[in-house]
Copies of this chain bind each other. A is one copy, B any other.
């Protein structure tokens, strides 16, 4: 409560006339009230509205459709779509903003009455199955809590989650018997044969346990559950709906599903009977990647009923979100705090309460002295999500991440760091070895809690594993050849950036041989850059650039990764100076950036490329390759152009509605971009130790740093009209450069922007003021 009073203090002081530059239109939302989990649940965001604790293993959320087929699955990657009319059930696991579908494990749905359908039925036909209609007006979603009234059974459904548990609370009418349908068949992207095995078992103490294996995005993924009920389970029916069952005659005791104690198979569904209830039914579920014992232990590790778990999780969120004290208009407070909320979901906890977890080798490991985390969407999150965690979370979060990455490498069948891992399992999705910049950024920021030599060994191993993504050729030719490896141009430049971070870390550690090798490789981006045309282009093994060449062409599996030459020609974040020289200088660079943003794409059709969304010309904010591009003007002496472009992006790509994310949140990256940008700076090149200054979108914000210090951003006179930065002062002194260092933030202080309606075209123009570039300017 104190913090709320303190938050209101500026407004109070302003009301008393005691602040010289009063903050107009400042909202007074608490961080918790500002979070709106529905943001991103429609449109392209792929977020979910359900209950989750910070970095929780469980994401307990409604699925409006878990029966989708491959193309329809893309919009249902998080299970829930705001546009859908029915809820199929509530499942325990969801991605926040993934481009691919999976999870949706252990779906539960309440059913009232004597007839209990065991199939979900048709969303268009009410009563055709266990799914139910619902109205958004009955929905509540907040950090750690979700509620909805299910029209068809007349049941109020509430969800909350702890770290490794979820709690469901169903309030049935008293007039009909209460049932739950527990469906082990459903999954997000649920093609035939996805559930390769599953089991369910009612134990003598009333605990329901089981698990399943899915051959999905992470093939062979195993997850177990343990479930307890607040009311006696009066009856049950376990069914296997698969007809092709060998040795069908050999069944466990019991003549029907209602008296068997367990069932195994590939298509299991259970009916659970509770009779007429005069109080809400609570269902508490623990999950584990290890085994049923792990799930039981996790379930027991977080005691308390629904309200207790909810209160604890809300308190945890309050603490986590309050790391930022933001003052802005209500819409901005909502978008920024919701972005922070989304950024604090992953990498999520995976190890059980006892430290055990299932690793990338599908074997059981134990995390000693740290919490094993997974859900590493590294191609996305190395950019801003992980750098954000270094300033808004305790150091243990990042050291957990780094130790988890190292442990994953040690358990990797290939001996390399994760690429896109969830629940400990590798998916081999996207390109690069972007665990490398995550670790390097942490090390270079002075973060402790992991073995740097082990880390560097893992980084080098990942960067030199020849069979991976054309690395063999990259090491010998200096680039990835397109005639031997798809998406070669993107791979070459992303490898070069990752290599630069290895070099930086190795040099700081004094491992100079490694540093020298990777400093050389950091310049390999040049080998795929066609200086004559000014484009990054895919090159063949014979040295020639591939023709025909079209910088607007976007094809999966072609020369670039989810993008084209327009976006990828900017991917040398560690050497923008080198790029600017190749492009012919600042003016040419600015002109090319402007051409990108102002490109007329009306005649192009990118609709088949699912991840290409949020277009501003060829700047595609809905996908990551563009994320740093607006900041590149600042490298070319035109930070005022960055400021204008950021205003254009923030206004068009984010809002506080379910359609508030223009692209997949990508496990926090889209959101982390907004948090940084709103604060006025962005980590263009993680590993550089610098944040490039853009412009703020909050009137005032204080970061409560993990070290106890505070760093405050103030935007004097900001308005829609005052979209430019007139002047910048750090700790009261004018700042004549367009970047901040991580150390400057860590030391605490104040970054004060004086906003202006007209651009300050002289600030940040001289070479000395520009951000880091490997080969200078």
Interface residues of A (CB under 8 A from B): 100, 189, 191, 193-194, 196-197, 199, 201-204, 213, 215-217, 219-220, 244, 246-247, 249-255, 259-262, 264-266, 291-293, 361-364, 413-416, 426-429, 465, 467-469, 484-485, 557
Contacts and interface: CB of A to CB of B under 8 A. Distances in A.
A364 B293 CA distance: 9
Contacts of A292: 361-363
A215 B361 contact: no
A414 B262 contact: yes
A189 B247 CA distance: 11
A712 B293 CA distance: 52
Given A203-B413, A292-B361, 10 more contacts: A100-B247, A193-B244, A194-B246, A196-B196, A196-B266, A197-B197, A197-B213, A202-B413, A216-B247, A255-B467
Contacts of A255: 467, 484-485
B219 A252 contact: no
A197 B216 contact: no
Contact of A252 (B244, B293, B428): B428
19 contacts: A189-B246, A196-B197, A197-B213, A197-B215, A197-B220, A203-B413, A215-B265, A216-B247, A219-B246, A220-B264, A250-B427, A250-B429, A252-B413, A252-B428, A254-B468, A255-B467, A259-B467, A260-B467, A293-B363
Q: Which 7 A-B pairs have the closest CB atoms?
A: A253-B468, A262-B413, A254-B467, A253-B467, A250-B428, A259-B467, A201-B413
Contacts of A429: 250
Nearest to A425: B264
A517 to B, nearest CB: 20
Given A204-B415, A244-B193, A253-B414, A199 B220 contact: yes
B191 A246 contact: yes
In terms of DSSP, what is the predominant structure of the interface of chain A?
loop
Nearest to A255: B467
Nearest to A486: B249
Nearest to A216: B246
A279 to B, nearest CB: 30
Contacts of A485: 255
Nearest to A240: B219
B469 A253 contact: yes
A220 B250 CA distance: 14
A496 B113 CA distance: 43
A741 B247 CA distance: 41
A215 B246 CA distance: 8
Contacts of A415: 204
Contacts of A428: 250-253
A199 B362 contact: yes
B363 A217 contact: no
Contacts of A247: 100, 216-217, 219, 427
A237 to B, nearest CB: 13
Given A220-B264, A467-B259, A414 B252 contact: yes
A380 to B, nearest CB: 16
A76 to B, nearest CB: 16
Nearest to A293: B363
Contacts of A266: 196, 215
Contacts of A244: 193
B253 A465 contact: yes
- Of A201, A203, A413, A426, the most chain B CB neighbours within 10 A belong to A413
A69 to B, nearest CB: 11
Contact of A219 (B203, B265, B427, B557): B265
Nearest to A202: B413
A262 B254 CA distance: 42
A466 to B, nearest CB: 8
A270 B700 CA distance: 62
B293 A261 contact: no
Contacts of A413: 201-203, 252, 261-262
- Of A254, A416, A426, the most chain B CB neighbours within 10 A belong to A254
A295 to B, nearest CB: 10
A15 to B, nearest CB: 57
A259 B468 CA distance: 10
Contacts of A100: 247
Given A216-B246, A217-B247, A364 B252 contact: no
